[in-house]
Chains A and B, each alone.
Chain A
Amino acid sequence: LAKTTQPISMDSYEGQEVNITCSHNNIATNDYITWYQQFPSQGPRFIIQGYKTKVTNEVASLFIPADRKSSTLSLPRVSLSDTAVYYCLVGDGPIYNQGGKLIFGQGTELSVKP
């Protein structure tokens, strides 16, 4: 399974755009890139997933360069409620015969200040 590397922590201010980059040099051809968000005392929550180029939903955008060795989660105009830990996960498309084992890294602790 591909290992991921993210910054341990980031600070931002309300209204700013936040970009969190994840490195995954050993990503396999059939791997997808998925991001989760976790608030204190809660389980992680799915944010966005992509395979290549750019994916956007109502919460975030995910940018994936052509070589797929990294990805960037972009949160537009963050608010105080976006303060959380963000995890980047790579792997386990349908070919993996154990059906999608999820391995979490350390995550990035995002702190949004007023």
Chain B
Amino acid sequence: DVKVTQSSRYLVKRTGEKVFLECVQDMDHENMFWYRQDPGLGLRLIYFSYDVKMKEKGDIPEGYSVSREKKERFSLILESASTNQTSMYLCASSLYPRTGEEATEAFFGQGTRLTVV
């Protein structure tokens, strides 16, 4: 079974703190994603990475950065946490689609519910 593991289920941080959310996958997937999910807004893509040290901005990258030093690990960093970053954060991974193959399935972690006070 594919496993995408997020380091914490629940996290409480103070405004201004630097926050690290870690995600590890065990299936040698090239693609990794970070989303946040808020009521009424669905899942919104923050950043994604299609290879080690490669990253692309998603729809809402402001206030976030990412790090992908190893293929299996993708970290989301909140440089200076703010209350409007209180949310559920979801990590996902998928294989890079090969030429002639369909878009691949993404596997999600259980999520980290972050509260910034």
Chain A residues close to B by CB (< 8 Å): 31-32, 34, 36, 41-46, 49, 51, 87, 91-96, 98-107
Contact = CB atoms under 8 A, between A and B. Distances in A.
Contact of A103 (B30, B45, B104): B45
Interface in B21-36: 30-31, 33, 35
Contacts of A42: 108, 110-111
> How extensive is the interface on chain B, given as a class?
20 to 34
User: SS class of chain A's interface: helix, strand, loop or mixed?
Assistant: loop
Contacts of A36: 106
Interface string B41-83: 1111100101000001011000000000000000000000000
Contact of B30 (A49, A92, A94, A99): A99
Interface of B: 4, 30-31, 33, 35, 41-45, 48, 50, 56, 58-59, 90, 92, 94, 96-111
Output the residue of A93, A102, A103, A105 with the most chain B CB within 10 A. A102
Given A43-B111, A104-B42, A99 B92 contact: no
18 contacts: A31-B103, A32-B103, A34-B103, A36-B106, A41-B111, A43-B111, A44-B43, A46-B105, A51-B102, A94-B97, A94-B98, A98-B56, A99-B30, A100-B104, A101-B48, A102-B106, A103-B45, A103-B59
